Structure 1
């Protein structure tokens, strides 16, 4: 989850600063594993006033803003249909009996009768969320949901339980835009986390996958638009998740590239050293191990081919040093070599042309597939 920010031409509209009043928000999510019951987690992490949710439903997605008729279920919170979430807090709904299958899409619809104020949200998704005026919790059709955006609001998790396997657990993909899914086609579920979930489902491994990436996120510094620094948000976004067994960490690229971009959304953008980035990685590893969570280090993706300014010769030296440490130090329990999965054999500082999105930096569908294919499932 992130602080509310203004929308922009390049990032598209979002409703985080204006919030909602007498409006229904329908959000489409895909669960990684199936089960007999589910509950949702809502966040007011960055709210400054109590958040009043009037009512909520969950149902099976029928595409776009539609819900399969007869599948919508009313959600309760402590036995009542609405709830109030204090500033800086999260809340989970009561468990609701709705059987789900691995990789199934659901819709979560939230109705706010009262003004919410600015909304805690997630800025970049490759999913679409919808907004309607008035109360439209049980609508199976999508006609009332005339506005759309590529962000999620207040919804920070869908938690599934009641599966057959007693050894199920959660893998959290934690980091920046590589984990968030920048470069994947909207609505196609082609992020790294989607591809990993598909591999796990095909192998009948009872592990859910949580996407805890934030586009633009850094390991050493906060930023106005790209979330709290990773060391500060690690407990909330990883360790406090239920059933977490493993975390995959990809961080450092934005710390290296921020001084080159001139992006005001980064806020402070000091030049960083490999020693500083490695020290922060060690902090995340210690926190993981203290909670009994396995830590998998992901090497930093190739940055030289980006069509916007993130690359420098000095930055490349830092990236190479951090990647060498991730591969050889033994500090991580296992390694996902994103760099080698994506790199052009003729120039390893560049990504393969067939694996990269049109911005020259982020993976495309083939690139995300290559990264997911490089994961050792036994290491999870």
Structure 2
């Protein structure tokens, strides 16, 4: 190294030291970068955004979610997709749960957005936090705490979480104690995605696009027994390259028509294709289109499936489709709807338009009445599986087909 090179290195080191020692006030005086709208890494948890009730000014939320894949550099995404005005969030923290609303000592740390402790999400938009150094375990209860100082108008979130989270007035987001969190909620508010940077051996994810069967209705609350949860545990044990799981189910959702959430066709980009690291879209939806008696034909539903596959393939994703499960005994069941279901399933079983097909109908149906769910798997309403049925669905997925190397 020449003398001039050595002098330049000493000068650079001195400048770095000076920058590191700047007082906080000087660091804040600089204009922070804008919050990120995209994230690298792999999605480890997600829930589809939907329209909620009115936002509450000054409300605090301590939201509990279960990670699938572990990794470093945690990032969270907040959505204002259905808001009609900007949404400000502050005091955002992330930690690991000990029990109820209490966190493990030393785990609760502040998140920033473009270097700032607060973020304003424009109406109709979403933002990612900055990466948070440190490792987040797989299969852990991650807790994201936030406050909405001036929220008003329509809120964005996920109504049917099948998970108890916590609410409270005032600002208790930095506290690891659960004492300030005196209320509970069965919904996730504003938070719709979490990503990590996993090891190279587990660098992909699957996004399950579905309705209440994927959302987890009739599974046991607070025990993470939705079929995507069981799938995440299988993937982790198998050590596959695809280990992240995003649950993009909405109760009552349809493929073709808006209603309980935007139709799968209308939310595909936001809820699925925007998720970091997704390699495979797992499509399990259609029973609500059939039982709604809106005149949907097999040809209509097949056209919707084809459109989802086309768009996912164009984005470089694999697509696995699942057959529509039995629902005889549900009040809206009738022979015409059953005939459409059988026609749709026959198409799926013989189609070459997907990278794989999983026969969930065959898993769930009774051998004595194939139009009806096996009683051992029936959650009680004849359309939604119980915990055992959810596990059977996950067990039926061919893990090797979740990465088609597109």
TM-score, scaled relative to structure 1: 0.91
Match of 2:391 in 1: 369
1:328 to 338, 346, 350: 350
Name whichever of 165-174 and 364-373 sits farther off: 165-174
Deviation at 1:2, TM superposition (A): 4.4
Match of 1:292 in 2: 316
Alignment partners' CA distance in 1, 2:54 and 2:336: 41
Match of 2:111 in 1: 75
Alignment partners' CA distance in 1, 2:76 and 2:101: 18
RMSD: 1.2
Alignment partners' CA distance in 2, 1:366 and 1:145: 33
SS in 1 for 2:172: coil
Matches within 5 A, 1:147-226: 147-161=183-197, 163-165=198-200, 168-206=203-241, 207-223=243-259, 226=260
Alignment partners' CA distance in 2, 1:150 and 1:106: 16
* CA deviation profile, 1:151-199 (whole Å, cap 9, x unmatched): 11110101111x2225511100001111111111100110011000000
1:343 to 352, 356, 365: 365
Match of 1:237 in 2: 271
SS in 2 for 1:238: helix
Match of 2:341 in 1: 319
Does the CA-based 8 Å contact 2:91-2:174 persist in structure 1?
Answer: no
Alignment partners' CA distance in 1, 2:188 and 2:133: 24
Matches within 5 A, 1:1-380: 1-4=48-51, 16-161=52-197, 163-165=198-200, 168-206=203-241, 207-223=243-259, 226-259=260-293, 270-306=294-330, 309-380=331-402
Does the CA-based 8 Å contact 1:256-1:310 persist in structure 2?
Answer: no
Deviation at 1:53, TM superposition (A): 0.9
Deviation at 1:289, TM superposition (A): 0.8
Alignment partners' CA distance in 2, 1:32 and 1:116: 33
Give the length in aligned residue pairs: 354
Alignment partners' CA distance in 2, 1:328 and 1:66: 51
Q: Which has the higher helix share?
A: 2
Distance change >3 Å, CA 52–CA 246, structure 1 → 2: same
Alignment partners' CA distance in 2, 1:148 and 1:56: 18
Deviation at 1:301, TM superposition (A): 0.9
* CA deviation profile, 1:308-340 (whole Å, cap 9, x unmatched): x22110000000010111111211110111101
TM-score, scaled relative to structure 2: 0.85
Q: What are structure 2's unaligned runs of at least 5 residues?
A: 1-47
* CA deviation profile, 1:227-277 (whole Å, cap 9, x unmatched): 011111111111111111001101110011113xxxxxxxxxx22100000
Q: What are structure 1's unaligned runs of at least 5 residues?
A: 5-15, 260-269
Name whichever of 55-64 and 39-48 sits farther off: 55-64
